[in-house]
Chains A and B, each alone.
Chain A
Amino acid sequence: AQSVTQLDSQVPVFEEAPVELRCNYSSSVSVYLFWYVQYPNQGLQLLLKYLSGSTLVKGINGFEAEFNKSQTSFHLRKPSVHISDTAEYFCAVMAGANNLFFGTGTRLTVIP
């Protein structure tokens, strides 16, 4: 069985500060890893994904994530956040099956 843990339900951060949103997963098989973002009153949008190869993945809007197999983590980072980054962020895994297993989400609030 697969599971995804996002330890931080809410993360407030000041504008232009760096941010890290944590994601840990458990799976008995190889996984594909995703980060999705949901802006207020909008649908889910893919930020980035890890399938194979380089463990550092760059996505849209300046976000990046690093796959760490030994720690079963896929943390999302941005060196300098903007007000427009305020949204809910979901980590997800796909392992074997075709559907995504999502974490419970982290609400990022950027403070001016």
Chain B
Amino acid sequence: GAGVSQSPSNKVTEKGKDVELRCDPISGHTALYWYRQSLGQGLEFLIYFQGNSAPDKSGLPSDRFSAERTGGSVSTLTIQRTQQEDSAVYLCASSLESGRGSTQYFGPGTRLTVL
């Protein structure tokens, strides 16, 4: 498809387990973003990738969270030793370029539930 895709759409895990969430950005988009949407916190920025530059990790809530982007395309967000407060919808977005008001196109999200 032409849009941002994310997998899985839903993930239920037990506290303490590790999870990996995947994002496929729109082809040709150089910038990729991860956000988290939760009831208590609204929409929060997590991490941002632009081309081959070092990612902006300023939004990651703890060192249990990490992300990588391979080959400038697909990205994986990893949460280690999940906690119940990690339950949220994780949204990925991509844009043609970074900054300057570029429109970010969002995927449908992955709903993570930590039991």
Q: Are B106 and A103 in contact (CB under 8 A)?
A: no
Give the residues in chain B near A101, CB-CB below 8 Å. 45
Chain A residues, Cβ within 8 Å of B107: 43
A83 contacts partner chain B, Cβ-Cβ < 8 Å: no
Instruction: Verify if B65 is at the interface (C-beta below 8 Å from A).
Output: no
Chain B residues contacting A92 (CB-CB under 8 Å) are 43
Cβ contact within 8 Å between A102 and B43:
yes
Name the interface residues of B81-95: CB closer than 8 Å to any CB of A.
91, 93
Distance A98 CA – B104 CA, assembled complex (angstroms): 10
- Asked if A107 is at the interface of the complex by the 8 Å CB criterion, the answer is no
Which range contains the number of B residues in contact with the other chain?
A: 20 to 34
- Whether B98 lies near A98 (C-beta < 8 A) is yes
Q: A49-B101, A98-B56, A98-B99 are in contact. Are A44 and B45 (CB under 8 A)?
A: no
In whole angstroms, what is the CA distance A96 to B96 when docked?
17
Check A90 for interface membership: any CB of B closer than 8 A: yes
B109 at interface, CB cutoff 8 A: yes
Whether the Cβ atoms of B109 and A104 lie closer than 8 Å is no
Q: Which B residues touch A51, using CB under 8 A? A: 100-101
| Max count, chain B CB within 10 A of own CB: residue among A42, A46, A97 | A97
A98 touches B108 (CB 8 A): no
> Is the Cβ of A97 less than 8 Å from the Cβ of B42?
no
Instruction: Return the CB mask of A11-53 against B: 1 if under 8 Å, else 0.
Output: 0000000000000000000001010100000111110010100
B7: min CB distance to chain A, Å? 14
Question: Can you offer 15 A-B residue contacts whose CB atoms are under 8 A?
Answer: A43-B107, A43-B108, A44-B93, A46-B103, A46-B104, A92-B43, A94-B99, A98-B99, A99-B45, A100-B33, A100-B104, A102-B35, A102-B42, A102-B43, A102-B44
